[in-house]
Amino acid sequence: MTDKSASFVYVTFIRTTPEKVFEAITKPEIARRYWGHENVSEDWQPGSSWQHVRTDEARTVDLVGEVIESDPPKRLVISWANESQKDDPDQYSRVTFDIEPQGDLVKLTVAHDELQPGSGMLNGISKGWPQVLSSMKSFLETGQGFDL
């Protein structure tokens, strides 16, 4: 059996509302402003597919997956794989977004698990998520994301 034991948990606190965080993940026109990518799905309902699309002219699809669970604006669970490896079930990992209000802040927890130790994906996301979450926080609090 493939070893998919690696996992990460990222947390950021954002001065905003759970609805805005959920939209920042699922609405292409918002994600493109801080992520350098859009997350595109027809309806973000369980069983629907989603794509992670670069915001350049070529609109390259970098990642694909399926919506596993959706409970806006509290929780979203999706599967996650490189587009080039989409036919291999072993290459799919899982990302869980948990969004909970804490006073006047929102706690966003991103758990990325079912990853293969030593895989390229593991390498990529360990750099990628801190950037994306910092940029999202900056965007939601100041209107300005980072250059990703």
Residues lying near another protein in the complex (CB under 8 A) are found at 6-13, 109, 111, 126, 129-131, 133-134, 137-138, 146
Residue 12 Cβ vs another protein, minimum distance, rounded to whole Å:
5
CB nearer another protein, residue 44 or residue 80: 80
Q: DSSP readout, 10-47?
A: EEEEESS-HHHHHHHHH-HHHHHHHHSEEEEESS--TT
Alpha carbon 46 to chain centroid, angstroms: 16
**Residue nearer to another protein on the CB measure, 68 or 133:** 133
Evaluate whether 137 touches 12 at the Cβ level (below 8 Å). Answer: yes
Rounded to a whole number of angstroms, the minimum distance from the CB of residue 99 to another protein is: 15
Select 51 or 109, whichever has its Cβ closest to another protein: 109
